[in-house]
Every structure is written in C-alpha cells, then in structure tokens.
Amino acid sequence: MEGTVDSHTHVSLLPFEGLESMALAGVRKIIGCSIFFGAKHAETLFDHFQQMLTLSMSNAAKNGIKLFLAVGIHPMGTPEDWPRVVDALPSYLKMSGVIGFGEIGLHEGNKREQEVLREQLKVAREYGVPVIIHTPPQQRVEITEKTIEIAAAVGMEPGKMIIDHANLDIVDLIEDFGAIPGLTIRQEGLTPHLLLNHLERFQRGVLNSDYSNLKPNDPLSVPKTVRYLELNGAPPEIIARIARYNAEEFFGI
C-alpha cells in the first residue's frame, strides 16, 4: 500500500539515504521522536530539538516526506537539570510540526525516572497533546503497570497515549487502560510473523520502526511489514489501519 506512516522514528539518527529509501518504499509521514543518549545538560536536548526542527525537517521535505516531531526527555538521556527542559516544553508546541511529547517513559523504572515522566505527563495533560511512551526490554509488565499508574494519577487521557514497543506480554494492559499500542517491528521484539499470527489483538496499534543507533534497526520495517502481511493474506483494512489510519487519527495529521 502507498502512503504509510512510521509513527516512531529517531530522525536525527536517520541518514539522508534512510529517508530516501523510506520515501521510495511509500512512507509519506513520519513521527520523529527525541532521544539523545547520555544527555547531561538541558542545552544538549535544546540543540537536539533544534536540529530536528531544522535539518531533519529539511531532509524529510527534500524526500517528499511530511515530518512531525515529538519532543521530550527520553529516560536514556535525562539531563541533571531536567526540570529546565520540562519548563521549556510548552514553547515547542507553538512551533510548526511539533505534535506532542516523546519519547518519554521509564527504562529502569527508578524514582527519578518516575518523577521525570510524571512532570512531562502533567504538561501533556495541561496542553491536551499526545505522548509517545517507551517500554523497556526488561521487567516489562511491572514497568508498564507503573507507567499506567503514573499516567492515571496525573489524569492523563489514555486515548492521548501511545504505549510503544507493545508485544503479547503487555498489549492487554495497554488495551485495558485505553491507550494505543505502538507496534515497533524488529527482530528482537514484535516480528512481522508474530504480528500476523495475532493481528486481531494488535489492530488498534500503530506500526513503527523506532529507528535509532541503539540496537540493530531497519528504517524500512513499516513497508516491509506491510508487504509481508499483504503477501500472507492479512485483511487489507487492518493493514491500512495499523500502517496509516490509526496514526493519522491519533495525531490528527
């Protein structure tokens, strides 16, 4: 199918050729999420956001891709002076192309991470914007439960949350809460094969590559997954929803 959406990509780590390949494979819209591994200072994140707003926006446009941005503090790069970033978040919402906050969430699940997540969710609730939430490779059920507990406590609307890297272990938790499952396709997580075998359970979800340099990744995982599902007889309306319409509705893009 044409016109797919990659709902979670770390565009600052994506080479120009990656964007070009995605465009050639039919990706038309990308949500670019923030991450600066090991960030120590608020300024590091401000520069990171600025790079996405300028260079990444321009590179996407040159490839005929519409880029939308989510800014925020990723738990793998929380500056020591992180409250300064939280204070600045509303100012980014005024900028063209910024649609919400992400990638935010818990990685180890410690008290500091919980506080950083809570404060960012408070801003998201106040401004009524969507968020893209990380889930880690370890202690997935406990950490997803903790994430949901924090979101509920600040009064975050579940329908404004994508809880990402969903798999069979947490998809029911996400659905029961009323959030949208983010479907990151990669070898060591949700594979196209697994998705096909449990498509009904994932049909409210949004496909993405979560492209970054943190682990092996494939910027073409969304179009490749669509092709795999099509070749294996998955219902076209479900493919269209997870590869395009669910994300377009969620983000209003």
Rounded Cα distance, 99 and 252, in Å? 9
Of 24-32, 98-106, 167-175, 223-231, which part binds Zn ion (CB under 5 A)?
98-106
State the nearest-atom distance from the C-beta of 185 to Zn ion, in Å.
13
Closest approach, Cβ 183 to Zn ion, in A, equals 13
Cβ proximity to Zn ion, 119 vs 210, nearer residue: 210
| Contact flag: residue 103 with Zn ion (CB under 5 A) | yes
Least separation in angstroms between CB 215 and Zn ion: 10
Q: Are 144 and 172 in contact (CB under 8 A)?
A: no
Which element (helix H / strand E) includes 181?
A: strand 180-184
Output 134 or 244, the one with its CB closest to Zn ion: 134
- The closest of 9, 94, 104, 103 to 56, measured between CA atoms, is 9
Closest approach, Cβ 155 to Zn ion, in A, equals 25
Count of positions on this chain that bind Zn ion (CB under 5 A): 2
**6 binding Zn ion? (CB under 5 A):** no
- The nearer residue to Zn ion, 135 or 234, going by C-beta atoms, is 135
For Zn ion, the closer CB: 9 or 234: 9
Is residue 113 part of the contact set for Zn ion (CB under 5 A)?
Answer: no
Check residue 210 for interaction with Zn ion (CB under 5 A). Answer: yes
Q: How far, in Å, CA of 223 to CA of 253, rounded?
A: 19
Binding mask 51-90 for Zn ion (x = CB under 5 A): ----------------------------------------
Count H helices and E strands in the chain, helices first: 11, 8
Q: Which is nearer to Zn ion, 160 or 165 (CB)?
A: 165
DSSP 8-class letter at 107 = S
- Indicate the residue among 35 and 86 with the shorter CB distance to Zn ion: 35
Q: Within a 10 A sphere around the Cβ of 57, how many other Cβ atoms?
A: 20
Nearest distance, CB of residue 2 and Zn ion, angstroms: 25
**Rounded to whole angstroms, how far apart are CA atoms 202 and 63?**
30
Q: Side by side, which strands form the sheet with 4-9?
A: 4-9, 27-33, 66-71, 98-105, 131-134, 161-163, 180-184, 206-208
User: 10 Å Cβ neighbour count for 40?
Assistant: 13
Task: Report the residue number whose CB is nearest to Zn ion.
Answer: 210
Question: SS3 for 70-84, per residue?
Answer: EECCCCCCCCCCHHH
Q: How far is CA 144 from CA 41, 162, 172, 198, 202, in A?
A: 27, 12, 11, 20, 17
Q: Whole-number minimum distance, CB 141 to Zn ion, in Å?
A: 20
The nearest distance, CB 230 to Zn ion, in angstroms, is 26
Q: Are 72 and 42 in contact (CB under 8 A)?
A: no
Stretch that binds Zn ion, among 65-73, 85-93, 119-127, 204-212 (CB under 5 A): 204-212
Using the contact rule CB under 5 A, the part of the chain among 116-124, 166-174, 202-210, 220-228 near Zn ion is: 202-210
Tell me which residues touch Zn ion (CB under 5 A).
103, 210
